[in-house]
Amino acid sequence: MKNIVKDEKYLQIRNEILTSIQDKYKTDKVDIYYSPDNEYRLIIEYFNPEENQGWKYSRGTITQLRTENELVLIRNFGSFPFEWILKDKESFLLCGQDYQGFSIVDLKIMKVIDYVPAEFYEGRGFCWAEIHYTQGIDVLVVGGCYWGDEYEIVFYDFSNPLRLPYKELKRIKPYEKIIGWQDKCNFEYEDEDRKKQIVKIL
């Protein structure tokens, strides 16, 4: 699957978004989160550009508290879903600088890797809305949708967090609520009728 993050056309679109990240457009809302090991801080700020016809953006600033090194992530959407991840003694932050793709930050070296599919240009990239990772299970669980479509749960192979895009293992559609793993093979969720279902993933 092609990654368009370095395409000239895509970079031009990103540059237009960056012009909207100005203090005069910043709202009063600020959210602050700390990693489970308290070694990193994430501050999320929200922007509402007047000339952007109601389209909102967000900015996440990650700080490595020991060194005060910072990494800034600009998201082209008004919400900023994320998940702190500790896997094989390495720390990551999983999020999305583009709402039709996803990003992972290697927190040790404060480096971000982005993935945006070519379907972005048609508005058909899969939009992540919630991210779940359980330590010890090499499967990433994502709730999201294609724009205007029903929400679904997607399971990805997460054995190599820094190798994007992730291999898709299974989809469940539609759903009402993600519950979580019953064990290392079986996953529980609520369907559209709010009935609990268990599905074998591994």
**Residues constituting the chain:** 202
Q: How large is the average pLDDT for residues 182-201? A: 97
User: pLDDT by residue (tens digit) across 4-29?
Assistant: 999 999 999 999 999 889 999 999 99
More confident residue, 115 or 1: 115
Both tokens of 57, joined, read: 């953006």
Q: How large is the average pLDDT for residues 53-80? A: 96
User: pLDDT by residue (tens digit) across 123-155?
Assistant: 999 999 999 999 999 999 999 999 999 999 999
Three-state DSSP state, 122 = helix
pLDDT at residue 50 greater than cutoff 90: no
CA distance 154 to 157: 10
Place of tokens 């559609």: 173
Nearest alpha-carbon partner for 46 in 66, 20, 7, 82 = 20
Nearest alpha-carbon partner for 154 in 139, 170, 138 = 170
Q: How large is the average pLDDT for residues 153-172? A: 98
pLDDT, mean over the chain: 96
**H or E stretch including 190?**
strand 186-190
pLDDT at 52 (0 to 100) = 67
Q: How large is the average pLDDT for residues 85-99? A: 97
Amino acid at 61: T
The fraction of the chain above a pLDDT of 90, given in percent, is 94
Give the pairing of strands 111-115 and 102-106: antiparallel
CA distance 40 to 22: 25
pLDDT at 61 (0 to 100) = 99
